[in-house]
Amino acid sequence: MIVTLGDLTLDILVKPDKHAAGKPANSPGSVTMTSGGAAANFAVWVSRLGGDVRFIGKVGDDPAANLLVWDLLKEGVLPETITEKGSTATLAHVVRHHGQLELMPDRGVAVKLRPEEIQESWFEDAQWLHLPAPSLTALPIGSAAARGVRLAREKKATVSVDLVSPDLIRDYGVAKFSVLLKTVKPDVIFASEEEAALFSAGALGELAEIAVLKLRTGGCGVADDKGYREYPPEKLRTIDPAGANDAFAAAWCMTYLEKRDAERACLGAIKLAARVAAHHGTRPEVDLKGIAS
């Protein structure tokens, strides 16, 4: 069983109509709503790859929560959600007329997950715990994640952390986040080149047994007890990279859990991330052949 803890989010994509002759700038466009959240997306991809996965998070007492939890169930994810008065997390993606994407996050009650709400039984069969960085950098959810780490360690589960966003780490403080990682002691760290560049050379390799570097080219590098090596990207056209990060982590964790082979995990993760990025949305239907087999 793979366990993840974090946000379950209602993603709202707002796209204005393109300018046309005589059309005013405030003309209506399209609004699309989908399920999202780094931890929830990770859980869905693990399930689609054939893994048993449990999602832990807090949702609001609103209609959005019912829809999002039901969506997880349909995807084969076991949701362990706690409801609290307030709003479920939302993330608005607003596409401006000049093509730039503006993100407007509202984590709602997701950050209010408390350590005493985490049940030991949720980790009884845990083999892996995956934590996106936002699950660590806010309170009280950070304390809940710390309890999750302790329970996972008791079951000798592997713990991974995905840094997710360079802006998040800058805002939190690089030095402060380094101390946080030393406390969590993850077995695996996932970082993009931009995220890794915030730390001193080789620092991530010292903070985890395995450091996985997602390269700008679409390939990846890995540093472990065998040294550092890189693997080339898949040659697919990138249309929407929004969901590739969570898919990459899911494929890597699934493959490594089954095979204990970092090279196979990297190759599978590269394939899935490229296939996801070749479609619109964070959870598109893609060919999963050859990913985690």
Model pLDDT for residues 124-138, shown as the tens digit of each residue: 999 999 999 999 999
**Residue 215: what pLDDT?**
95
Query: At residue 153, what are phi and psi to the nearest 5 degrees?
Result: -65, -35
What is the tens place of the pLDDT at every residue in 26-78? 666 777 788 899 999 999 999 999 999 999 999 999 999 999 999 999 999 99
- pLDDT of the residue at 189: 98
Closest CA to 42 of 188, 215, 184: 188
pLDDT band for position 290 (cuts 50, 70, 90)? confident
Q: d(Cα 153, Cα 269) in Å, to the nearest integer?
A: 25
Q: How many residues does the chain have?
A: 293
As a whole-number percent, the residues of the chain with pLDDT over 70 amount to 93
User: What is the domain partition of the chain in residue ranges?
Assistant: 2-7+39-80+112-277
Whether residue 140 is predicted with pLDDT greater than 70 in this model: the reply is yes
pLDDT of residue 29: 73
Residue 22 to residues 8, 16, 26, 30, 99, Cα–Cα distance (Å): 41, 15, 12, 19, 20
Token representation of residue 244: 């590739």
Say if CB 272 and CB 286 are below 8 A apart: yes
Give the CA count within 13 Å in the CB-facing half-sphere of 19. Answer: 8
Taking only the tens place, the pLDDT of each residue in 20-35 is 445 566 666 777 788 8
The residue with tokens 């709003």 is: 87
Among the listed ranges 70-79, 84-93, 154-163, which one has the minimum average pLDDT value? 84-93
With 90 as the cut, is the pLDDT of residue 18 above it?
no
Average pLDDT value for residue range 7-22: 74
User: DSSP string of 127-191?
Assistant: SEEEEEGGGTSSTTHHHHHHHHHHHHHHTT-EEEEE---HHHHHHH-HHHHHHHHHHH--SEEEE
Which amino acid is located at 118 in the chain? I
The CATH number of domain 2-7+39-80+112-277 is 3.40.190.10: no
Query: What gap in Å lies between CA 30 and CA 174, rounded to an integer?
Result: 38
Is the confidence at residue 171, as pLDDT, over 90? yes
Provide the 10 A C-beta neighbour count for residue 92.
15
> Residue 94's pLDDT is what?
74
Q: How far does Cα 102 stand from its chain's mean position?
A: 19
- Mean pLDDT confidence for 143-164: 98
pLDDT in tens, 174-221: 999 999 999 999 999 999 999 999 999 888 989 999 999 999 999 999
